[in-house]
């Protein structure tokens, strides 16, 4: 696991990195899987807030457990 704190808005840094990689054909800083997992974590957090309760992810079944 790698963690790098951005001094700015991380979205801008990620878009810049992606566009640089499109131009140069280099590998992006984060994998598609890492991006998916970050987005899924935010999605689960939003669902928990809307429900007003804890929400868990069932990785085996690939869906919300509660």
In a domain, residue 3? The reply is no
Model confidence over 23-64: pLDDT tens digits? Answer: 999 999 989 898 888 889 889 999 999 999 998 889 899 888
Of residues 43 and 1, more confidence is placed in: 43
Number of domains in the chain: 1
In a domain, residue 25? The reply is yes
* Whole-number Å distance between alpha carbons of 2 and 49: 27
In a domain, residue 44? The reply is yes
In a domain, residue 24? The reply is yes
pLDDT at 19: 96
Domain with 53, as residue range(s), is 10-64
Helix, coil or strand: residue 58: strand
């Amino acid at each position: 696991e790698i963690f790098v704190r951005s001094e700015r808005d991380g979205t801008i840094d990620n878009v810049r990195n992606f566009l640089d990689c499109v131009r140069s054909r280099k590998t992006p800083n984060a994998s598609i899987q890492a991006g998916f997992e970050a987005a899924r974590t935010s999605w689960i957090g939003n669902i928990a807030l809307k429900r007003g309760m804890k929400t868990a992810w069932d990785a085996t079944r690939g869906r919300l457990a509660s």
